[in-house]
Amino acid sequence: MSREPDLSNSEQRQSRRGYLNPSLVRSVSFWITSACILVAVLASLLAIWKFAGTDILWRTVATCAVIGSGTVAFYWVNVLFGTTSE
């Protein structure tokens, strides 16, 4: 009676690391961070061409930095508290 692991069951299970669906969290994090970068670049261009003041520029860049950092931190915490074995 040799006890061999049942590979058919383990092959069907995907290795999932994260409390929430890691693929969804990664996708949302990517799009939010990309949108923050796009808004910051747009605000910088408007400030360079003097369509917006430097006050608006720094507030926009700071807001995008906070939102982007929060998104990356959320992704990291999701991976940290997730388990690999169920």
**pLDDT over 60 at 6, yes or no:** no
At 40, list the tokens: 């910051």
Q: How far is it, in rounded angstroms, from Cα 42 to Cα 26?
A: 24
Which residue reads 């929060």 in tokens?
70
Over residues 7-62, the pLDDT tens digits come to: 555 554 556 667 778 888 888 888 988 898 898 888 888 888 888 787 888 888 89
Q: Burial-class residue 75 by CB neighbours within 10 Å (0-12, 13-18, 19+).
A: buried
Q: How far is it, in rounded angstroms, from Cα 61 to Cα 69?
A: 12
Q: How far is it, in rounded angstroms, from Cα 27 to Cα 33?
A: 10
Banded model confidence at residue 66, pLDDT cuts 50, 70, 90:
very high
State CA 53 to chain mean position distance. Answer: 30
Domain ranges of the chain: 28-86
CB atoms within 10 A of CB 43: 20
